[in-house]
Amino acid sequence: MDIGVHLPQLGRGADRDALMGFAREVDRLGVHSGWVSDHVCWPARFESKYPYTADGSFPAPNDMAWLDPIGTLTFVAACTEKLRLGTTVLILPYRMPVVTAKQLATLDVVSNGRLILGAGVGWMAEEAAVLGMPWNERGRRSDEQLEIMRTLFEDAAPRYDGRFYQFEEVRFEPKPIQNPLPIWVGGATEAAFERTARFGQAFHAAFQPVPTVVSEWQAVGAACERRGRDPGDLTLSLRVYLDPGSAMDPALSVAGSDQEMLDTLGAMGDAGISHVLVDPVASGGVGGRLDAVRRLMEDVVAQL
């Protein structure tokens, strides 16, 4: 099982030294991947509902510092050697696709082929409005963006003529080192399952109980079969809390004692989850969260 870790990209302590020290240490510990989330700004008032809480509320204050995901990963690429670099998830409708493709290709090149593009369609319409980006049919727009990235990354003379985006033949260099660039699709809808089957190398679930993820994974497999893809070629990833103090919902966490954490990871592996992204929840700021990751890797994961 591969273990990914959410980097200290947001909140108090999200600065150069904390990010560099955290990233270098998890790289040394053998963590598979470091991940960042995506918000550009927070409208003072919004009615959109977060899809991963029962009441639709977002579990963080709207005045929290939030570093840009692609810029953060570019910085981390320069601080590390082996750590893979992922977005959990990049909200495609917030950005113009060709510019985003350039940034992602650059990141893959300067990291020597370590990028994982976690991709999603987003949930906050008010944020998209501030950015001047259309929110209607954002799923279809996102699909076109992924098509555009594929042609820019893989074709010698890319061009595109879609419903929402069009451009004549261009030259686009450099290509990403990875071909294809790994795309891990997030979401909890039938459209997300179909998007995974169409574009993904992984299905990237988040903050859901394992039985729910198993059901969604079966839906991804059915979508793959409809498209003639082997579901066995895809990875199943789950983002959960790393919660040694057992403060969060235990169904959404790796929590408790070393043995309890080991049992939880074992059950996830038995369910087919081969990548677990942990979001550390611990007192003591960035240092406390790093201590929790160190304990997980040295005392728990080493026993798997």
Please give the single-letter amino acid code of residue 303: Q
**What tens digit of pLDDT does each residue of 13-34 get?**
899 999 999 999 999 999 999 9
**What tens digit of pLDDT does each residue of 233-289 get?**
999 999 999 999 999 999 999 999 999 999 999 999 999 999 999 999 999 999 999
Q: For residue 52, how many other CB atoms are within 10 A of its CB? A: 16
**What tens digit of pLDDT does each residue of 128-153 get?**
999 999 999 999 999 999 999 999 99
Going from the C-alpha of 244 to that of each of 8, 11, 270, the distances in angstroms are 17, 20, 22
CA–CA separation, 89 and 252 (whole Å) = 18
pLDDT at 12: 85
**What tens digit of pLDDT does each residue of 68-78 get?**
999 999 999 99
**Phi, psi of 117, rounded to the nearest 5 degrees:** -90, 95
Contacts of 156 (CB under 8 A, 6+ apart): none
pLDDT, mean of residues 85-107: 98
Written as one string, the DSSP assignment of 156-180 is: SS--EE-SS-EE------SPPSSSS
With pLDDT > 90 as the criterion, what percentage of the chain qualifies?
Answer: 97
209: exposed, middle or buried (Cβ count in 10 Å: 0-12, 13-18, 19+): middle
**Long-range pairs for 66-69 at CB < 8 Å and ≥24 separation?**
66/9, 66/10, 66/14, 66/37, 66/39, 67/9, 67/10, 67/14, 67/19, 67/36, 68/40, 69/9, 69/36, 69/37, 69/38
pLDDT at 62: 86
1's tokens: 């099982």
Largest CA distance in the chain: 58
CA–CA separation, 115 and 84 (whole Å) = 6
**What tens digit of pLDDT does each residue of 38-63 get?**
999 999 999 999 999 999 999 988 89
CA–CA separation, 28 and 298 (whole Å) = 11
pLDDT at 122: 97
Is the CATH number of domain 2-303 3.20.20.30?
yes
* Beta bridge pairs of residue 3: 276
With pLDDT > 70 as the criterion, what percentage of the chain qualifies?
Answer: 100
CA–CA separation, 252 and 241 (whole Å) = 6
